[in-house]
Structure 1
Amino acid sequence: MTQRTWAAAVAVPLLLALGMYAAIKPLPFVTYAPGLTVNVLGDNDGRPVIDVQGHPTYPDAGQLRMTTVSVTDRNSDLDLLTLMRTWFSRDDGIYPFAIQYGSSGSSQEDQEEGQVEMISSQDAAVAAALRQLGYSVKPNLQIVVVQPDMPSVGKLQPRDILLKVGKTKVNPKTVVPNLIAAVPDGRSVPVTVERQGKRVTVHVTPRTVDGHKYIGVKLGIGYDFPFQVSVNINDAIGGPSAGLMFALSIYDTLTPGSITSGGVVAGTGTITGHGRVGAIGGIQQKIVGARQAGAQLFLVPAANCDDAITSDHGSMRLAQIATLKQAIAEVTAWGKNHDVALPQCTASKRSGT
């Protein structure tokens, strides 16, 4: 056997082995696929998704559908072959791991963050809808997550409005960790909250972890509302991107008539308490999910137009939306005439969005 033949005999198996290793080695990416869509004007386990107490409600025979994306878990091992199959899929997408999950964290932290964002988006949606209807809405500080195996378990609850820590009254600008840090070691602190309209005080003993004291809650901005509006959605759904559709559905539920005129509208977008619509991730997969669910119109945050116009939306119309006020006007106009001119996501609008 010549030296060249021998080298080839060794090199070919090595190259094959290297190729097989590269094909099965986990790579730092995540995949997006179209997720479920939910008619926010409908019911969830026999209860209205938009549940209102203390104000008349008005049913809408149409649909306002929130959209979701199915994202691979941070612990998933995605190899080259799996990613190649996703790459060739018309509906799915591939994104760098760091864009979705950052450089650190855990699945539990991801879940907690998603819950915080979901609760905050629901409250912002209620605030935006009520302000659109002329109500005065003031912000407060509320508990959005009670962390497992921490001192607040069984004492504090999500949606509790924080009123006082010790003798200090709390407002949205209060630095609560500083109040907890000031509690003497081994001592409890009285925490006063408003829970379902009643004032409740519990005593919690902070726990020291890595030199810092915690009671085991995460806080977010809530609002004082003139009547009760709650959003009943599956606990497995997290994130802030349904804010626009929540706000639109709340407005529709609280006003006579039907803004959809019986049509099927889907959409996505974060929302602020003052009705500004913000960008989200996975717009292309959400559009596909909405089209598969039979939506006729899709509301696109202005900042997502670049990706939306290249999506597989079929005959479903896309409307560029910047505020809740605009969304109400465009859906109402479309409901009356499906051929009405709408602010479209087109190539001419891509700059400056």
Structure 2
Amino acid sequence: MKRKFPIRLSILAALILFASAFYYLPFYVSKPGMAKELEPIIKVEGGYEEEGNFMLTTVRMGRANIYAYLIAQFSKYQEIYPVEEIRAEDETDKEYTIRQLHMMDNSKTAAIEVAYKKAGIPVEYDFKGVYVLRVLPDMPAEGKLKPGDHVFEVDGNPFASANDFIDYVSSKKAGDIVKLSFKRNGKTMDTEIPLKAFDDGSGKAGVGIQLVDDKEIKVEPDVTVESEEIGGPSAGLMFSLEIYNQLTKEDLTKGYDIAGTGTISPDGTVGRIGGIQQKIVAADKAGAELFFAPFEKGAKDSNYEEALEAAKDIDTKMKIIPIDTFDEAVAYLEKMKKKTS
């Protein structure tokens, strides 16, 4: 009888430990992810091959249980963030994931546009509507639309961009009803939603959704980017470099393994990203020899400065290169000498 008590106590303790692994704290933990070669996931039809590699770098981000939280407290290149710093107010995990994936899609589209225009190849768009990224709480769309819904008509009329949709709805007043046609899981649906005034003092009314354009870029030769479940916009710069390199005869890699990070705008501007020190760690582990970092026009505490700090700390031989634009990155690579064995 006495032996049963310790056994039961051990089982109870094991159950508590198991259950605690599934209890999430109000924090996210980020850690170094991977540096992934881009040539296998980006294919330009009939594109040129390269001797070296362009690599995207990632950060692993996830909700923290008690174990992940404690480990991060004692790990130099793991960061802890309160939920409100990662997700918008009242944003669910599902909405956050959808937002990250659509940001990635927009990043790919911008990268294709930048690369093809640099190569002197025309670019066209086929606009298909908007995706709902988030439904704001206590607004009329709550319970009628969901993140991921694809809205393609308002009051029976198609629209040419997310801005056109916003302008049309904003031209109406609180209490007016708009009819939205949308697709959810392949099924076409309609809903009527009354407009409600925003509480920001603007006097404007809306249905209460955050949205993003759904547009297909049309280029020739064709290009595919298989980013799988990678989310966020930070791979934009490296996407554009890989695509451009496959479009042009000269191999910009010159035989080097080149990593980097930064958002890309359609005009070629490279923007700040999060987690750059963790990406430096990931790139160094993957054997990268060069790393492009957003310079932010020399701003204090820029991504470039943060990258230099991490590079010095881990004593990497990887060279950190500051850039503000896609053109600057290309110019640097064009002047670089070819790697010798």
TM-score (norm 2): 0.69
* Residue 285 (structure 2) pairs with residue 292 (structure 1): yes
The question of whether the paired residues in 2 share the 8 Å contact of 1:63 and 1:264 is answered with: yes
1:54-133 map, 5 Å: 56-73=46-63, 76-78=64-66, 83=69, 85-133=71-119
1:324 to 318, 323, 326: 326
Aligned to 2:36: 38
- 1:337: how far off? 5.5
Aligned to 2:307: 308
Mapped to 2, the partners of 1:144 and 1:288 lie a distance apart of: 37
Unaligned runs of 5+ in 1: 1-23, 43-48, 193-201, 339-353
Mapped to 2, the partners of 1:237 and 1:155 lie a distance apart of: 20
1:108-187 map, 5 Å: 108-137=94-123, 141-143=127-129, 145=131, 166-167=156-157, 169-171=159-161, 173-175=163-165, 178=168
* Residue 230 (structure 2) pairs with residue 231 (structure 1): no
Mapped to 2, the partners of 1:188 and 1:283 lie a distance apart of: 41
SS at match of 2:250: coil
1:197-276 map, 5 Å: 204-206=189-191, 208=193, 218-220=211-213, 222=215, 224-227=217-220, 228-234=222-228, 236-276=229-269
One-letter amino acid matched to 1:230: T
The question of whether the paired residues in 2 share the 8 Å contact of 1:34 and 1:91 is answered with: yes
One-letter amino acid matched to 2:117: R
Mapped to 1, the partners of 2:120 and 2:294 lie a distance apart of: 24
The question of whether the paired residues in 1 share the 8 Å contact of 2:169 and 2:206 is answered with: no
One-letter amino acid matched to 2:31: A
SS at match of 2:164: coil
The question of whether the paired residues in 2 share the 8 Å contact of 1:50 and 1:250 is answered with: yes
Mapped to 2, the partners of 1:185 and 1:104 lie a distance apart of: 25
| Distance 1:101-1:224 versus aligned 2 partners, 3 A rule | closer
Aligned to 2:43: 51
- 1:137: how far off? 3.8
Aligned to 2:335: 333
SS at match of 1:65: strand
Mapped to 1, the partners of 2:149 and 2:233 lie a distance apart of: 27
Mapped to 2, the partners of 1:33 and 1:333 lie a distance apart of: 34
Give per-residue Cα distances to partners, 1:134-165, cap 9 Å, x unaligned. 234466644564789978999969xxxx6997
One-letter amino acid matched to 1:205: D
Structure 1 residues 133-142 or 33-42, which shifts more? 133-142
Aligned to 2:138: none
1:277 to 270, 273, 285: 270
Aligned to 2:202: none
SS at match of 1:325: helix
- 1:328: how far off? 1.4
| Distance 1:151-1:57 versus aligned 2 partners, 3 A rule | same
Give per-residue Cα distances to partners, 1:201-238, cap 9 Å, x unaligned. x9641254997997x9943274653423231111x210
| Distance 1:334-1:224 versus aligned 2 partners, 3 A rule | same
Give per-residue Cα distances to partners, 1:110-130, cap 9 Å, x unaligned. 111101100000001011111
Mapped to 2, the partners of 1:101 and 1:187 lie a distance apart of: 29
| Distance 1:100-1:313 versus aligned 2 partners, 3 A rule | farther
SS at match of 1:175: helix
- 1:38: how far off? 1.6
Structure 1 residues 138-147 or 277-286, which shifts more? 138-147
Mapped to 2, the partners of 1:168 and 1:260 lie a distance apart of: 44
One-letter amino acid matched to 1:314: T
One-letter amino acid matched to 1:50: I
| Distance 1:221-1:283 versus aligned 2 partners, 3 A rule | same
The question of whether the paired residues in 1 share the 8 Å contact of 2:290 and 2:319 is answered with: yes
